[in-house]
Amino acid sequence: MDIRLDGRVALITGATGGIGAAITTEFFKSGATVIINGRTQEKIDALTDKLLTGGDKKDAARIGGIAMDLTALDSETNMIQRVIEKFNKLDILVNNAAQIDGRVIMRCDPDYVSRLMLINYRKPYQLTRNALAYMRKNRYGRIINITSVSGQCGDGGVSAYASSKAALHAFAQSISVEYGRYNITANSIAPGIVDTEALKAMSDEYKQNAKKLIPNNRFAKPSEIADLATFLASERAAYINGQQIAINGGLYR
Ligand SMILES: NC(=O)c1ccc[n+]([C@@H]2O[C@H](COP(=O)([O-])OP(=O)(O)OC[C@H]3O[C@@H](n4cnc5c(N)ncnc54)[C@H](OP(=O)(O)O)[C@@H]3O)[C@@H](O)[C@H]2O)c1
C-alpha cells in the first residue's frame, strides 16, 4: 500500500524529540510539508538539515520551523497563525509535545498538576480548536494525539501524566463526533515504551524490568510510531475516527 501525503501541510509539536522527529521525517518523505515545532531553534535547524541531506534543494520549501514553548502566552493562536500565513492551510496536527515525568500522588501538588495539564492537555486542546477552524473550511483534517499506555491503564508514579493523556484522547473522541462530517478525523496513538532520549535517562535495572513485561521483549522504535501516524494522517485512514490505537508490543496490565 502506497501511503502519500503530497500537498498536505502538517504541524508537529515536539518535533525535535525522538517520536516527533521520526513522525516529521516520515511525513516529509511521504510528500507532506512539515512544520517543526520545538523549544530550541538549534534543534529545529538540525532536523531541517537532516531532512534535506542528499535531497533536492527545492524541498526546503516544504519545511517550516516554529521555535515556541507551548506554555508561552497565546502560543496556541500564534502557532496556527504562522502556519496559515506561510502555507495558507493546515491539514494535519500532531499533538506530540509533552511534559514526560512522574511523581507519586502525594507529591503531585496543585502547581505541578496545573503545569503538566497545561502542556499535555490544555494547550493541545486550544491548539487543536484553532486548527479545526481551518480544517473545516478545507473539508480535510487529521488530528493525531500521541498519548500513552499509562493513559489507557493508569500506572503508579505517573498519575498526573496518565490523566493528561486520558483527557487528550477523550477530546479526540469528542472531536470525532462533532467534526466527522467534515472529513476530519481525530485519533490517538498510545505507545508503550519507546526508545527515545527519555528512556536513555532510565537505569539499566528499570529497562530490564520493563522489558520483562513486554511480550515482544524490546522497546518500540520511534519509526514504528511514525509509520502508524503517517497512515492515520493519510486519505487511506478516512474511516478511522475517534480511536486510540495501542502500539506497545503486547504490553498489557
Ligand atoms: N518515549 C516513550 O517511551 C513514550 C511512551 C508513551 C508516550 N510517549 C509520548 O510521546 C511523545 C513524545 O515523546 P518522546 O519520547 O519523543 O519525547 P522527547 O524525545 O523527550 O521529545 C519531547 C519533545 O517535546 C518538546 N517539548 C517538551 N515540552 C515542550 C513545550 N513546553 N513546548 C514545546 N515543545 C515541548 C521537546 O522540545 P525540545 O527539543 O525543545 O526540548 C521535544 O521536541 C510525548 O507526548 C510522550 O508523552 C512517549
Looking at 140, 161, 239, 252, which residue is catalytic? 161
DSSP per-residue string spanning 143-187: EEEE--HHHHH--TTBHHHHHHHHHHHHHHHHHHHHHGGGTEEEE
Residue 185: inside a domain: yes
Q: To test ligand 1's pocket by mutation, which of 121, 123, 196, 214 has the most ligand atoms within 8 angstroms of CB?
A: 196
Q: Cα(153) to centroid of ligand 1, in Å?
A: 20
**Cα–Cα distance list, 105 to 120, 144, 156 (Å):** 17, 28, 8
**124 CB under 6 A from ligand 1?**
no
Place 57 in a pLDDT band, splitting at 50, 70 and 90.
confident
Q: Which residues, 6 or more positions from 232, have their beta carbon under 8 angstroms from its beta carbon? A: 142, 144, 185, 187, 189, 240, 245
Q: Do residues 47 and 219 touch, judged by C-beta distance below 8 A? A: no
Place 56 in a pLDDT band, splitting at 50, 70 and 90.
confident
Give residue 92's Cα distance to chain centre: 11
What pTM did the predictor assign? 0.98
Range of the domain at 75: 9-247
Q: Cα(210) to centroid of ligand 1, in Å?
A: 20
Q: Cα(96) to centroid of ligand 1, in Å?
A: 6
Per-residue pLDDT at 241: 98
Place 253 in a pLDDT band, splitting at 50, 70 and 90.
low
pLDDT tens-digit readout, 3-13: 999 999 999 99
Q: Do residues 187 and 240 touch, judged by C-beta distance below 8 A? A: yes
- Beta bridge partners of residue 66, listed in sequence order: 37
Instruction: Return d(Cα 140, Cα 32) in angstroms, integer.
Output: 14
Q: Do residues 90 and 11 touch, judged by C-beta distance below 8 A? A: yes
Residue nearest to atom 8 of ligand 1 (CA): 148
Helix (H, G, I), strand (E, B) or coil at 189: strand
**40 CB under 6 A from ligand 1?**
yes
Residue 222: inside a domain: yes
Place 59 in a pLDDT band, splitting at 50, 70 and 90.
very high
**141 CB under 6 A from ligand 1?**
no
pLDDT tens-digit readout, 112-135: 999 999 999 999 999 999 999 999
CATH at 14? 3.40.50.720
Instruction: Identify whether 161 is a catalytic site residue.
Output: yes
The angle formed by the CA atoms of residues 222, 223 and 227, to the nearest 5 degrees, is 125
Number of domains composing the chain: 1
Q: Do residues 218 and 183 touch, judged by C-beta distance below 8 A? A: no
Neighbours of 239 (CB within 10 A): 7
pLDDT tens-digit readout, 14-27: 999 999 999 999 99
Give residue 28's Cα distance to chain centre: 15
Instruction: Return d(Cα 174, Cα 180) in angstroms, integer.
Output: 10
pLDDT tens-digit readout, 188-240: 999 999 999 988 888 889 889 989 999 999 999 999 999 999 999 999 999 99
Residue 156: inside a domain: yes
Residue 2: inside a domain: no
Helix (H, G, I), strand (E, B) or coil at 35: strand
Instruction: Look up residue 222 and give its three cell numbers.
Output: 520511534
Average pLDDT over the chain reads 96
Residue nearest to atom 37 of ligand 1 (CA): 38
Q: Which residues, 6 or more positions from 77, have their beta carbon under 8 angstroms from its beta carbon? A: 126, 130
pLDDT tens-digit readout, 129-138: 999 999 999 9
Q: Cα(98) to centroid of ligand 1, in Å?
A: 5
Instruction: Return d(Cα 35, Cα 11) in angstroms, integer.
Output: 5
Q: What is the mean pLDDT of residues 134-147?
A: 98
pLDDT tens-digit readout, 62-95: 999 999 999 999 999 999 999 999 999 999 999 9
Instruction: Give the long-range contacts of residues 105-112, CB within 8 A, separation 24 or more.
Output: 105/159, 108/159, 108/160, 112/160
Residue 1: inside a domain: no
